[in-house]
Structure 1
């Protein structure tokens, strides 16, 4: 979830009203921008912790100083802050995996240095293991979001203020069918997603207590408004499915000059048809899209949103490298599709993330035998594909090390975190560090 939103957080400018047909045409036209896959991007969210006492809450004035210090840096990535003070770096589209890693690694070095001067450190957890939800940003967007998500219980505030992720961004793919075709790649995001949830689960604790989940972050998403967080209908062609999904999802908020309206159950399609509380325009549609949180979101490119933030300074590189390899190398893409399709089909019906396979991934991680087997195949395919994509030896070694440490043993980072926090209190887990840039 990013706080950079089209049109800003103010009321929309006067614009022609939007018709239902025009909205459908716009959505079909912008969701998948096709062509040979060439670029890679990543969005990294970090919790900000006291460097020496991570279980202590960071005072608001220190977080404000951190915001000021980091915003002063000459970063190549776009910088935003999330409602609970999480820091997000969104890379530029890079021409290769190596270039993406190099760009973000350089930015992170500068960010860590600035935070270190304030006694802070960026922390890679899918959910903050210690802190309760505490919203720091008072923008109208988050006031409205909090009111809307509160209808579904406390999970919304926890998601907004205590979660962090690694979001991998890849080109949509080619118009033509095949392993690099956009329709296949869109399908693969949902077939492979549960394996990525399981392999990179890293959030077994909340508010100082163990949970039944290895990815409590994923469990929070499934506890929210199901229409807003579900994958679109998999029976329809991708463009039609996305257009229908956007228009038939309830509007989270209607921007205005005063407090924003938070309608209950008003879909965007209903809004267009009724013209109440006012006529909707193109900027409203663009804004509405930013309030949808499916596990994968087509934004012209593909944005994979199901991966927990990872431990260590460089842990984020492994999910970025593995996912890029499995999507952008044609041989790996074809083989992984054949591997995960039967697994997903045998797990029962229901859209991701509310189906048995995704639930097992979030609860059990790679302790679930079929997910472990699938993850093993995925990592081996990625290791074969990474040299063909020009990945550095350091990146390939990081993927191999993760495979040996976790996948081959049926473990995920959450298992290490459980071991440390149940025996060592607030002590940080010891993760290998290295300069992979």
Structure 2
């Protein structure tokens, strides 16, 4: 997933210093905004490759020209570029699945056309299969991020510069218990998330070589930091677990008026509040800190599901968006899907996602794992039943059904196709 581009580039100028109790209250209130689910959004990341020579790194001046051209387009989505030059489209919150799909699809037509005139193509793969990490953005945030993540090894740089994802954003859910309640949706996200990793795994190559993983992207995220990428404790209610996780995770950086920003080692946000050094944190610092946390599911008023590899093809992205939204937001599907994936909790064990056996197996084995294959088949059946009730067009239903027939029904995922296409002696994969 992306390193996230927050608003603002320096310290907050005028804000009230934050106390520990106030920070806990803010986290409980702002991160789980409850109500009937009705809003959906999607964030799509794309690698940018030369259309004729995809294995050759694109020079920085061409990526800068692409950024200028794409930013000039009148799009519905917000456009950002990630540290390695990846393009990200972040849709506006939409009132329905089809509104989100239609707006995003229209934006992508314009983006692809503009990039095509520059002889570039947006590529939907979870990890760049050929190129070394190469950071193009030189900003204080990314300088500090690189410093902090380097302490745990090379996975941080690879994540920042060579990964891409489909991120589905859904309402947190209702206050009351039930299939649409925020507590159930929070639990569902962490079980269904492993199924989504396995189904949509699409990154079996890195640096020109096959890896042991079908989702190398997920393996990188699991390795890049001891705490920052873990799911909060499952022993506490969601609001309390998230508040504790945020406050007890080390800050990645402390913003200053100019770079470089401090990247203190081991200073949790709770420690920062208590010490008041090097300056006292304010609410804006807490919000910024949240953008530097990368668990597989991140609540920011809504739920961000961050575990899906970028998908190949012009419309590959809409399948995970449609399936995930149907399983969460259709009441009938939501009632049943939790029972479908709940047995996976035994496989997960006590370790937090994404480092428990369930998630590791999903990233490594995809749908060759019998439990994940059975769960995926049940989930797609429910999604296909729910999509007509949600107003999905026949084209969207057909895309989901085609993915099911090509992959899920055969115990395969996109990574299995890529392994065949990119294996020496076989034809080279295209760049779409």
- Normalised-by-shorter TM-score class: over 0.9
| Distance verdict in 2 for CA 1:300–1:323, change over 3 Å | same
Q: Is residue 28 from structure 1 mapped to residue 32 from structure 2 by the alignment? A: no
- Residue 342 of structure 1 and its aligned partner are, at CA, apart by 1.0
**Equivalent residue number for residue 419 of structure 1:** 420
Is this contact kept in 1: 2:327–2:337, CA < 8 A? yes
Instruction: Give the length in aligned residue pairs.
Output: 430
Is this contact kept in 1: 2:131–2:208, CA < 8 A? yes
Tell me, which stretches of 5 or more residues in structure 2 are unaligned?
none
Q: Is residue 125 from structure 1 mapped to residue 125 from structure 2 by the alignment? A: yes
- Runs of 4+ off more than 6 Å: none
**Equivalent residue number for residue 234 of structure 2:** 234
**Equivalent residue number for residue 353 of structure 1:** 354
Q: Is residue 281 from structure 1 mapped to residue 282 from structure 2 by the alignment? A: yes
Tell me, which stretches of 5 or more residues in structure 1 are unaligned?
432-437
Please give the secondary structure, in 2, of the residue aligned with 1:152: coil
Q: Is residue 174 from structure 1 mapped to residue 162 from structure 2 by the alignment? A: no
TM-score in terms of structure 1 length = 0.97
Alignment of 1:62-211 (within 5 A): 62-211=62-211
Is this contact kept in 2: 1:230–1:352, CA < 8 A? yes
**Cα distance in 1 for residues equivalent to 2:233 and 2:201:** 26
**Cα distance in 1 for residues equivalent to 2:420 and 2:210:** 11
**Equivalent residue number for residue 316 of structure 2:** 315
Is this contact kept in 2: 1:55–1:426, CA < 8 A? no
| Distance verdict in 2 for CA 1:426–1:224, change over 3 Å | farther
Task: Please report the RMSD computed on the Cα atoms of aligned residues, expressed in angstroms.
Answer: 1.2
Per-residue Cα deviation, 1:57-107 (whole angstroms, up to 9, x for no partner): 101000000000000000000111100000000001111111100000000
- Residue 2 of structure 1 and its aligned partner are, at CA, apart by 5.0
- Residue 3 of structure 1 and its aligned partner are, at CA, apart by 4.0
Please give the secondary structure, in 1, of the residue aligned with 2:127: coil
Per-residue Cα deviation, 1:190-211 (whole angstroms, up to 9, x for no partner): 0111000000000000010100
Per-residue Cα deviation, 1:164-205 (whole angstroms, up to 9, x for no partner): 000000111111100001110011100111000000000000
**Cα distance in 2 for residues equivalent to 1:408 and 1:319:** 16
Please give the secondary structure, in 2, of the residue aligned with 1:76: coil
**Equivalent residue number for residue 44 of structure 1:** 44
- Residue 427 of structure 1 and its aligned partner are, at CA, apart by 2.3
Per-residue Cα deviation, 1:146-172 (whole angstroms, up to 9, x for no partner): 000000000000000000000000111
Alignment of 1:290-369 (within 5 A): 290-369=291-370
- Residue 15 of structure 1 and its aligned partner are, at CA, apart by 2.1
After TM superposition, the structure 1 stretch with the greater mean CA deviation from structure 2, 339-348 or 34-43, is: 339-348
